[in-house]
Structure 1
Amino acid sequence: MSINHVLFVCFLSALCGGNPGQSLNIYTIAEGDTGTINIHLARSGNMKFFCKDKCKADDILIKTDGISSLSGRYSIKYKNESSTRGILSVTITNATRSETGRYRCGLGTGSILESFSDFEVRVSDARWDGYSGVIHTYTEGENVTYPCAYTVYGKQKFLCKGECKKEEDILIETDQNRGQNGRYGIEYREGSLFGLYVTITQATTADTGWYKCGYGRALSPDSYRKQPIIIVDASTRPTPTQTVMSSSPPSNLHEVTAFTPPTTQPFISSSPPSSLHEATDQLTVPCHGYLWLLVVCVLSVGGSLLVITLLILYIWKKKRNSTLNISKFEFPVTYKELDQASTCEDLCRD
């Protein structure tokens, strides 16, 4: 392998180092329902992608440079959220069991997918009465945070589990900006996108159920949001993908059907393509990664270059010494005195 190849491999390894510890978002939808998932992405080109799996040629469900697009039971719609971020809404209509699987949607230019999010959809035959759409699904042990959207602000705040028709259903009721009851909490974040947020720390499967949150008295019909929360066994958690999470929250809210933290996800396949055709079919995705790995690679290559340089100097010095030794050899030479009477013929005879 040439030095150029070594440099290229090390540089690519440094750029493509992701953060494999991040979890893959899961959304559950009942069979026959229609649901929308809103993904917050960094603005990166005008091309919008919606794919199943990893966006190889046969995986692409929708690819468009328009604001919206429809393909069968799938549709996407894009809207600018700010000068640096946008929301890509993905809708699945009349979901079937075949929709279960992993998906990717994102933004880019041409065939380059520059900003994207991976998620999993699970289609269930179980239906939540009174609820239609996707349900953000968590695994046990996770810390759950979701917004209490579509509510009108009031000083009194509450959180209930179940129908919230009796006192034992009330988990938290407070006139403060923050309330806590064991693993359950609510917090009003002034100036934030959603205002009131619900948290469940170290969630268990027993936490699955309906929750009500909002402003006013818990047992009165004041402004509230009611939604189901699903907690599944940790063994069903899909393998995480390489992600880099953005710390900046979305700036506004438009048709929130599932709360998805803003993400941008660099990706590079862990296995090389089996053929040139497969390599050209897969979308090109730029990598972002850790600088320290690049430094290690550069130092490693630098060490190799130093060894090669010393070897060349050694060979050159050895050859030079050989040349000098040859110049010291003594060759016998016979001299003959010539007097003035010597002629050319005498010299020739001698």
Structure 2
Amino acid sequence: MNLHHVLFFCFFSALCGGNSGINIYTGPEGGSGTINCHFTLPGNRKFFCKNECKGEDILVQTDDVRANRGRYSIEYKGESSGRGIVSMTIRNLTQSDSGTQYRCGLGGSLVPDSFWDFEVRVSDELLDRKSGFIRTNIEGENVTYPCIDAVNRSRIFFCKGECKKEEDILIETDKSRAQSGRYSIEYKEGSTFGLDVTITQVLKSDSGQYRCGYGRALSPDSSRTFSVIVVDAPTTSKPTWTHRPSSTSVPSASTPPPIISSQGVLLYVGLTLVVVFILSSLAVLIICIKRNPTLCGLRTRGNSDATNMEISPYENCPPVSKHEDSTYQSLSPASMDQDETYETL
């Protein structure tokens, strides 16, 4: 089966739109698709889950290189640089898969070391069941797509539809960069893909088939055809990528910063702080009791305002014996002189 692989790392940001929300991918009903999640940290346990990633929401979880479960499969490929790629495949896509939020990652599914979040939508308008997942854009984004590099760079073009008529041509130029309204094309010497095309502020009406390449649009020397799908912005968004810092992780220019920690991590951190606080308080109390064995409760004395303060929270404490060299004695309110606070014995 010819599966279309979606590079989930956004082609080094060349494919990333202006919206920082969750990534959306659309697949054909009845077809299959694979998404590749690229991670900068190595890991042994791999997982693929949906929604809250609890119980039955965990679709595949394994310490092996690959694993299958029903319509879902996962495969891990390590790179010499220490990075890893987690490839997830969903077969026989149905409408029940549409609108579901998925997660792929390394580590535990509840408290992962690294993970990607994305949403899958299923369309019955994609006639080619082998098309796999197609990156789906949010209305209002600025989106960029790469074109293949070629030897002949004297003329570049960008068109929509079948590109068989003059009105299908959006841009055709012999310059390295050109713009027409919301459409632009640019050739960058030494870049990853060479030629990029951009649509700013995409609309739902921009959905359709496009072509970009070299030569003339109606008779190209080389070209690439791709589909653009534009949908309404989702009502909620989730972090698309995050990782827990570790001593072996060294951030680099190509490593996206963590966006937000997962709720599970925050919960564990909060509980840990509470436990540490309680244990610290108990330790201080024990030390105080050992240093003052005659005290059953907490007794504090101060002379800044020429008064004595004594706090005894427990009522069953035995009376404290008086030494002959005691400096203070307790005075009852009835016998206490108004002008005298202390009495020397």
**Structure 2 residue aligned with 1:26, among 24, 27, 34?**
24
The alignment status of 1:167 with 2:181, answered yes or no, reads: no
Q: 1:239 aligns to what?
A: 236
- Taking the aligned partners of 2:212 and 2:143, their CA distance within structure 1 comes to 14
Q: Residue 79 of structure 1 aligns to a residue in which SS?
A: strand
Specify whether residues 142 and 77 from structure 1 end up closer, same or farther in structure 2 by C-alpha distance, changes over 3 A only. same
**How many pairs are equivalent?**
259
Specify whether residues 108 and 178 from structure 1 end up closer, same or farther in structure 2 by C-alpha distance, changes over 3 A only. farther
The alignment status of 1:97 with 2:83, answered yes or no, reads: no
Shift of 1:231: 1.0
Q: 1:301 aligns to what?
A: none
Q: 1:144 aligns to what?
A: 143
> Which is further off, 61-70 or 25-34?
61-70
The alignment status of 1:179 with 2:165, answered yes or no, reads: no
Shift of 1:178: 2.5
- Taking the aligned partners of 1:195 and 1:68, their CA distance within structure 2 comes to 34
- Taking the aligned partners of 1:122 and 1:110, their CA distance within structure 2 comes to 22
Specify whether residues 168 and 207 from structure 1 end up closer, same or farther in structure 2 by C-alpha distance, changes over 3 A only. same
Specify whether residues 152 and 248 from structure 1 end up closer, same or farther in structure 2 by C-alpha distance, changes over 3 A only. farther
When normalised by structure 1's length, the TM-score is 0.63
Does the 8 A contact of 2:118 with 2:240 survive in 1? no
Q: Cα deviation per residue 1:207-232 (whole Å; 9 max; x = unaligned)? A: 11110012222112432111210111
- Taking the aligned partners of 1:247 and 1:169, their CA distance within structure 2 comes to 42
Q: Cα deviation per residue 1:221-273 (whole Å; 9 max; x = unaligned)? A: 43211121011133xx14111356899559xxxxxxxxxxx78664423xxxx
Q: Residue 206 of structure 1 aligns to a residue in which SS?
A: helix
Does the 8 A contact of 1:112 with 1:286 survive in 2? no
- Taking the aligned partners of 1:263 and 1:146, their CA distance within structure 2 comes to 23
- Taking the aligned partners of 1:191 and 1:46, their CA distance within structure 2 comes to 36
Q: 2:77 aligns to what?
A: 79
Does the 8 A contact of 2:37 with 2:87 survive in 1? yes
Specify whether residues 104 and 163 from structure 1 end up closer, same or farther in structure 2 by C-alpha distance, changes over 3 A only. same
Following TM superposition, the consecutive aligned residue runs of length 4 or more in structure 1 with deviations greater than 4 angstroms are 109-112, 128-131, 243-250, 262-266, 284-287, 323-328
Does the 8 A contact of 2:105 with 2:113 survive in 1? yes
Specify whether residues 239 and 111 from structure 1 end up closer, same or farther in structure 2 by C-alpha distance, changes over 3 A only. closer
Identity over the aligned pairs, expressed in percent?
A: 52
Specify whether residues 243 and 232 from structure 1 end up closer, same or farther in structure 2 by C-alpha distance, changes over 3 A only. closer
**Looking at both structures, which has the greater relative contact order when contacts are Cα pairs under 8 Å and sequence separation is at least 6?**
1
- Taking the aligned partners of 1:22 and 1:69, their CA distance within structure 2 comes to 31
Specify whether residues 180 and 315 from structure 1 end up closer, same or farther in structure 2 by C-alpha distance, changes over 3 A only. farther
- Taking the aligned partners of 1:233 and 1:268, their CA distance within structure 2 comes to 26
Task: Give the residue type in structure 1 aligned to 2:51.
Answer: D
Summarize the alignment of residues 188-203 of structure 1 with structure 2, pairs less than 5 Å apart.
188-203=187-202
Summarize the alignment of residues 42-121 of structure 1 with structure 2, pairs less than 5 Å apart.
42-80=40-78, 83=81, 85-100=83-98, 101-108=100-107, 112-121=111-120
Does the 8 A contact of 1:53 with 1:103 survive in 2? yes
Does the 8 A contact of 2:114 with 2:241 survive in 1? no
Q: Residue 22 of structure 1 aligns to a residue in which SS?
A: coil
Summarize the alignment of residues 191-270 of structure 1 with structure 2, pairs less than 5 Å apart.
191-234=190-233, 237-243=234-240, 266-269=260-263
Shift of 1:204: 0.8
> Which is further off, 115-124 or 45-54?
45-54
More helix by share: 1
> Which is further off, 162-171 or 65-74?
65-74
Shift of 1:169: 1.1
Q: Cα deviation per residue 1:11-51 (whole Å; 9 max; x = unaligned)? A: xxxxxxxxxx8311111112111112222222242221110
Does the 8 A contact of 2:214 with 2:220 survive in 1? no
Specify whether residues 231 and 173 from structure 1 end up closer, same or farther in structure 2 by C-alpha distance, changes over 3 A only. same
- Taking the aligned partners of 1:124 and 1:88, their CA distance within structure 2 comes to 25
Q: 1:3 aligns to what?
A: none
Shift of 1:193: 3.2
Does the 8 A contact of 1:53 with 1:102 survive in 2? yes
Q: Residue 221 of structure 2 aligns to a residue in which SS?
A: coil
Unmatched runs of 5 consecutive residues or more in structure 2: 1-18, 243-250, 268-297, 309-326, 329-338
- Taking the aligned partners of 2:39 and 2:266, their CA distance within structure 1 comes to 15
- Taking the aligned partners of 1:213 and 1:42, their CA distance within structure 2 comes to 32
Q: Residue 96 of structure 2 aligns to a residue in which SS?
A: helix
- Taking the aligned partners of 2:169 and 2:81, their CA distance within structure 1 comes to 41
- Taking the aligned partners of 1:265 and 1:44, their CA distance within structure 2 comes to 19
Specify whether residues 75 and 178 from structure 1 end up closer, same or farther in structure 2 by C-alpha distance, changes over 3 A only. farther
Unmatched runs of 5 consecutive residues or more in structure 1: 1-20, 251-261, 270-283, 288-311, 332-350
Task: Give the residue type in structure 1 aligned to 2:343.
Answer: F
